[in-house]
Structure 1
Amino acid sequence: MSKVFAFHGGIHPPENKKQSTRAPISKAPVPDKLVLPMQQHIGGPSLPLVKVGDTVLKGQMIAEPISRISASIHAPTSGKVVDIAEYPIPHASGLSAECIVIEADGEDRWIEHQGLGDYKQLKRTDLIEHIRASGIAGMGGAGFPTDVKLHLSEDHIVNTLIINAAECEPYITADDMLMRERAHEVLGGIEIIAHILRPSHVLIGIEDNKPNAIHALEAVLKHTDLNIDIVVVPTKYPSGGERQLIKLLTDIEVPSGRIPADIGIVCQNVGTTAAIYRAVHFGEPLISRIVTVTGDAVRHPKNLEALIGTPFSTLLEACDVRPEALSKLVMGGPMMGVTVENDQIPLIKTTNCLIAATEHEMPAAPPTQACIRCGMCEQACPAELLPQQLYWFAKGREFEKAKHHNLFDCIECGACAYVCPSSIPLVQYYRFAKSEIRTEERDQQKADHARQRFEARQARLEQEAAEKEARRKARAAEAAKAQSQKTAVQSSEAAAPETAAPDAKQLKTAAAVARTKLKKAQKAYDEAAALNADNLAELEAALNEARSKADEAEKALASSASSGSEGGDDQSKQLKIAAAVARTKLKKAQDALKNAEDKGLDGVDKLRATVATLEQKANEAQQAYEKAEASGTDKAPVEVDIKALKQQVSIMRTKLKKAESAIDNCEDEADKTRLGQEVEELKKRFEQATAQFDKAEQVLVERAAQAGIDLKQLRIDAAMARAAVTKGERSLSKAESDEERSQIEQDLVAARSKAEALNQTLSQYE
């Protein structure tokens, strides 16, 4: 026999176990409806595989695990799925969760199933996967998925396998009766686990208040070759805690924040071993468990083998409950269990006990009093914590300090609250603090994730901005290079022996500058005359000189205009330019047509008509130029710059508005008269410019109509296409996900192609 050690603290509450061990394990009745929560274990909830209206068979998987730490759910009996919704679940919060409700058909028909045969011939990974598919979770109360405990990494070498048979909490006898009546199933499960983990030693820890179970285990161990020792430990609560049992059997303490596997030890509950035995040898998933139904409010306390999902009310009726005597219904043991108010809450994989207590048996807790700092809680704590200090931290919401004082090493056994003379519900404070810490950590993780996404987006935007700036600089450098080449050509032409006469544009500019200087001189002279200034003679001379220069500039402009209308060379040059412009427009239209045909864009027919028209115009312009070259004279019309005319109209409108505003603000009569004359002159020039623009616009509209194009609608379509490109570029700069960016880029390419085609067509008429 192995040596027994001791752990710190612990208590000896009344056992109350004999009441439920007087009768053998019996079958609980199958209820009309079974409610199966999707989370009966530690980890993520399961994902339903069925829908309302489906017919299921006993043992059929109805929900699959969705994460590494999760467990599948199976139908406990045959029937029909009548609902998938939120129902009250056995949890300390009292909240509801997603459940599958099965209406039993009374036939209890199994799905086709069978055992694995000689499991020792299988790979260990396949054996573990079969256990995972059977939905087995720890049945001692924690509910940790069993396959996760068995599927250890290569750096975890298991030296000792510990089977937890202590069942230390008062009232609970489910494991005790299981060992008494089905010790061979417990041993069979141990052999399967030992085959997977290959430990050098197996220890079964059991309290000395279970002599019948000890004898049953000793009898079956005679038929095994494994190195198994039954270690009988003194009855003391909570010797069934995983860390406390390891300390009792090996004198090794599991470090804070670590798991037993880190020190070469794995613990499994006896109920879990029996479930593994049934799954491997018979192919039965975990669809039922043994539960203790006890308390003074039931006439026949006993252990029932009940289907998962059975309502508590069915279990209580099976044990002949006395409703008039029932004061409190506790799920679990009196130390770590929780009070439930609804007897329709279902049995789950971790439910090992149901206590129907009378008021005398479990009276209401006395009023909480102030802490007297007696230190009894510290002496009773099996985890060697400082319960009093943790209580102050939790009450003061100093969660970070509580965490640093190893709050999460607390197993919530309730020993501290049991011995507290002030009746302080210490465990409730610890649960509250743990919940708040977990919530803060989740919020921090979300904040970190959001920050990372924001930083990634900022980095992407900065990179795009840098690339855009680089492209802009490259374009600027190319433009500067082209401008320098153009300047060099112009300089060489200016240095030629024959100096060309100023063109009409230069003469217009010179005339406008002369007029401006004349206005300034006139204004300076008028102001000086009003003030009778000393330099009036100088200003008068300057005014006369400015008037003379303005007259000369106007004469030069008029002479240039008259000579230009008669010069055959200018006409020939203009026809040559017109022919070149026509060819350029034709080339652009042909490129636009080819692009539209390649990409399957709309408006191809219009583009073909435009190309045909431009081909005719180019031929006519070329013929006119060749004819002018041959004859020396030409009267072909010159292309009109509609954009220049439109700009001229806008400029004249602005000048007219400014002049009219100046009249309104002027108080001097002489200035009003002069400004009035200027306004009349500007009105005439504005009307002339507007008439020229309207005439040119009408010519363009008629020319486009000949090609079957509505010029007004074409302009609207082109403007909308350009707006769509601008909108797409803005959306692209704001996109966050790669998928969203990809979709916007595709739309943007199509929008740019459409805008380019429309602009190419529009450029033929403007």
Structure 2
Amino acid sequence: MIQTLRKLWQIHGGLHLDYHKEASNNSHARNVPLAAEFIIPLQQHAGYKPTLTAKVGDYVYKGQELASHTGFMKVPVHASTSGTITAIEERPIAHPSGLKDLCLILTPDGKDDWGNARMSPYPDPQQIDPETLRKRICAAGIVGMGGAVFPSAIKLNVHDHIPVESLIINGAECEPYITCDDRLMQEQPEEIIGGIQIMMHIINAPQCLIGIEDNKPQAIAALQTALEKLGETRVQVIAVPTLYPTGSEKQLIQILTGKEVPSGGRPANIGIVCHNPATARAIYRAIRCGEPLIDRYVTVTGEGITQPANFNVPLGTPIAHLVQHAGGYAQPDPQLAMGGPMMGVKLPSDQIPIVKATNCILITRPADTTPTVMPCIRCGRCAQSCPASLLPQQLYWHARAREFEKAENYHLFDCIECGCCAYVCPSHIPLVDYYRFAKAEIRTQRDAKNKAERARERHDFHQERLERAKREKAEKLAKHKQQAQTGNADDSKQAAIQAALERAKAKKAQTATTASSDAPVTTSENAPE
């Protein structure tokens, strides 16, 4: 039964779009045969690269750690199957420029052998302390699988002074074409609920709200049935209106709770933690089964693919291999993107691997024409559609003029880059590109300022150290001089004392001699005269 008695709030703006979800969501997710080669990038999360532990020539088991998480904001990566590390080299990654980054190249042996790589399972997670569970989640390489790829263990490390009121599971999946979370919620509802229970135990949350757009009735029903089967009353499934971008974290929180995340703040600041259904399932498998994050559900869809579908894909699988098992391209020279049409990242080729952030491969026909960018006519449609209640037009002008401080004053970093403003712009201005440019420039300037500040601090410390050394040397010399002067004074004093002693001795001897010479001569009575 769908939860209907909870009050919902409205967000500002948003769009009703053509969603095109039916094509990929009419059958069960399929498993993909192993590719001939796996490309496993080290950087698959928001943070720092993990430290390599594997080397070329190593035989690795499925699930074996290839790079460790020792250090702050590091998340490990694991082998998606068993085989041999044949190279560690730079390969193209999911970036519009075709940027390359360091990757491990794994050639599978076809055995898919776990060996002893599985971690010890926890059959009853409720009896395990939260810190141990967080460490396991970190060791399993789990990140936010809704796209942000923030380390999940850090997100679950909440502050004691702000108690968590609600855990929110973001199952809205509002962007067109993408259906991997919908399919996962239909097929693995009990594992998702199991992961939710583990997270509630870790953060001590009294309730959980699962927000799902009302265009996903099968997923809503599947989760509700699983909750009734498990007898879990702390978790509610909430159907929310279908509106883009309801699936944005801050917007879904506002819809479900009426609370707004403060500018520059995080949901934890208002007592809320938000996660994705795929993340919940990955946590369940890491805790209950001892399995690291080495695969995920991925949607392959669009007018440019022959058989749109969802697949359970080992991480590191090249996109070309996935396309092959989706029937191949519908026509030559398609356009590829990782993600949906609103927020997706354009890809330069299909030789890029599936990573933890990959929820969808969108394949479309080449555009017949490119819209001509015209001057802004100040119509205000961008402001009307902005779900963050910003002024996109002002942000555009300041970003274009490189007036970054003014752009920040208009809350540039509250922009979620959903693309609503660019979608409705009659002048076809790529507004989000300007915002991304401004953000990147501000971050670059901040990094340069921080580096300059650190350099200044090092210079000041160096100067202070030199001054201290000079001062200590001067003090040491002064001390030696003083000691030398004190030593000379002591010698003079000792000489004076010695001279006085000698004079006293001489005077005593002289006195004795004088006394002896003045004494009378005594004669005997019997002596002759």
Tell whether 2:86 aligns with 1:82.
yes
Render the CA deviation track for 1:378-435: whole Å, top value 9, x for unaligned.
Answer: 1111111111111111111111221222111111111111011111111111111111
Q: Following TM superposition, by how much is the alpha carbon of 1:67 offset from its aligned partner in structure 2, in angstroms?
A: 3.1
Shift of 1:108: 0.8
Q: Secondary structure at the match of 1:15?
A: coil
Residues 157-176 of structure 1 aligned to structure 2 (within 5 Å): 157-176=163-182
Alignment partner of 1:404 is 2:409: yes
- Verify: 1:222 aligned to 2:220, yes or no: no
User: 1:241: how far off?
Assistant: 0.2
Structure 2: gaps (5+ residues): 494-529
Matched, 1:97 2:101: yes
How many angstroms apart in 2 are the aligned matches of 1:14 and 1:202? Answer: 30
Kept in 1, the 8 Å contact 2:282–2:293? The answer is: yes
1:436 Cα offset (Å)? 1.1
1:257 aligns with 2:282: no
Pairing partner for 1:356 from 354, 363, 366: 363
CA RMSD of aligned residues (A): 2.0
Deviation at 1:481, TM superposition (A): 7.3
- Of the structure 1 ranges 190-199 and 238-247, higher mean CA displacement relative to structure 2 is found in 190-199
Instruction: Note closer, same or farther for the CA distance 1:372–1:484 as it changes in structure 2 (3 Å cut).
Output: same
CA distance in 1, matches of 2:327, 2:122: 40
2:319 matched to 1:315?
no
Secondary structure of 1:215 counterpart: helix
Match of 1:743 in 2: none
Which whole-Å CA distance do the structure 1 matches of 2:218 and 2:388 have between them?
A: 30
Q: Compute the displacement of 1:267 (Å).
A: 0.5
**Among candidates 23, 27, 35, match of residue 23 of structure 1:** 27
Q: How far off its partner does 1:479 sit?
A: 6.5
Instruction: Give me the whole-angstrom Cα distance separating, in 1, the residues matched to 2:488 and 2:54.
Output: 74
Taking the aligned partners of 2:479 and 2:67, their CA distance within structure 1 comes to 61
Q: 1:305 to 1:62 in 2, by over 3 A?
A: same
Provide Cα deviations, 1:493-524, integer angstroms capped at 9, x if missing partner: xxxxxxxxxxxxxxxxxxxxxxxxxxxxxxxx
> Quick check: 2:306–2:330 contact (8 Å CA) kept in 1?
no
Q: Paired residue for 2:57?
A: 53
1:135 pairs with one of 137, 141, 145:
141
Residue in structure 1 matched with residue 377 of structure 2 by the alignment? 372
Please report how far the alpha carbon of residue 322 of structure 1 lies from its aligned counterpart in structure 2 after TM superposition. 2.5
User: Cα–Cα, structure 1 residues 323 and 341, in superposed 2: closer, same or farther, change >3 Å?
Assistant: farther
Is the 2:97–2:348 contact (alpha carbons within 8 Å) kept by the matching residues of 1?
no
Deviation at residue 458 of structure 1 after TM alignment: 1.3
Partner of residue 472, structure 2: 467
CA displacement at 1:201 relative to structure 2: 1.9
TM-superposition CA deviations, 1:293-314 (whole Å, max 9, x none): 0011212100000000000101
Q: Which position in structure 1 is the counterpart of 2:15?
A: 11
Partner of residue 238, structure 2: 231
Contact kept in structure 2, 1:45 and 1:66, CA below 8 Å: no
Q: Distance in 2 between matches of 1:481 and 1:108?
A: 85
The answer (yes or no) to whether the contact 2:385–2:421 under 8 Å persists in 1 is: yes
**CA drift at 1:283:** 1.2
1:207 corresponds in structure 2 to 213
**Is the alpha carbon distance of 1:486 and 1:273 closer, same or farther for their aligned partners in structure 2, counting shifts above 3 Å?**
closer
* Alignment of 1:431 onto 2:436: yes
Aligned residue among 290, 307, 310 for 1:300: 307
Please say if 1:391 is aligned against 2:403.
Answer: no
Offset at residue 185 of structure 1 (A): 1.3
Counterpart pick for 2:387 among 382, 388, 401: 382
CA–CA distance in structure 2, aligned partners of residues 184 and 307 of structure 1: 21
1:163 to 1:485, Cα distance in 2 relative to 1, 3 A: closer
Match of 2:71 among 58, 67, 70: 67
Aligned residue identity for 1:431: R
User: Which protein has the bigger helix share?
Assistant: 1
How many residue pairs align between the two structures?
Answer: 488
Q: Secondary structure, in 3 states, of the residue corresponding to 1:305?
A: strand
Structure 1 residues 220, 465: CA separation in 2 closer, same or farther (over 3 Å shift)?
Answer: same
Tell whether the 8 Å contact from 2:301 to 2:361 is kept in structure 1 after alignment. yes
Alignment equivalent of 1:106, drawn from 94, 107, 110: 110
- Structure number with the higher strand fraction is 2
Distance across 2 between alignment mates of 1:460 and 1:148: 38
Aligned with 1:277 (options 275, 284, 294): 284
Report the Cα distance in structure 2 between the residues aligned to 1:213 and 1:145, rounded to whole angstroms. 26
- Following the alignment from structure 2 to structure 1, what is the Cα–Cα distance between the partners of residues 408 and 364? 36
Amino acid at match of 2:74: S
Q: Are 1:184 and 2:211 an aligned pair?
A: no
Give the corresponding residue for 1:577.
none
Amino acid at match of 1:42: A
Alpha-carbon contact 2:331-2:365 (below 8 Å) kept: no
Percent identity, aligned pairs only, is 47
Contact persistence 1:186–1:270 (CA under 8 A): yes
CA distance 1:36–1:248, change in 2 (3 Å): same
In structure 2, what is the equivalent of residue 555 of structure 1? none
* In structure 2, C-alpha distance between the alignment counterparts of 1:414 and 1:341, rounded to whole Å: 21
Structure 1 residues 468 and 369, CA, compared in 2 at 3 Å: closer, same or farther? same
- Structure 1 402/245 Cα, relative in aligned 2: closer, same or farther at 3 Å? same
Q: Which amino acid aligns with 1:294?
A: T
Q: Select the structure of larger CA radius of gyration.
A: 1
- Give the Cα–Cα distance (whole angstroms) in 1 for the partners of residues 162 and 77 of structure 2: 29
CA distance in structure 2 between the aligned counterparts of 1:444 and 1:405, rounded to whole angstroms: 22
- Tell me the equivalent position of 1:413: 418
SS in 2 for 1:222: helix
Check whether the contact 1:2–1:229 (CA below 8 A) recurs between aligned residues.
Answer: no
Q: Counterpart of 2:172 in structure 1: which amino acid?
A: A
Tell whether 2:442 aligns with 1:444: no
Q: Quote the residue 1:493 is aligned against.
A: none
When the two structures are superposed, what TM-score results if normalisation uses the length of structure 2? 0.88
- Can you list the C-alpha shifts for 1:216-245, whole angstroms capped at 9, x where unaligned? 111111023332221111110000000000
Alpha-carbon deviations, 1:560-588, whole Å to 9, x = none? xxxxxxxxxxxxxxxxxxxxxxxxxxxxx
- Tell me, in whole angstroms, the C-alpha distance in 2 between the residues paired with 1:477 and 1:118: 76
- The offset of 1:482, in angstroms, is 8.1
Distance 1:72 1:462, change over 3 A: same
Amino acid of the structure 2 residue aligned with 1:211: P
Residue 368 of structure 1, CA deviation:
1.2
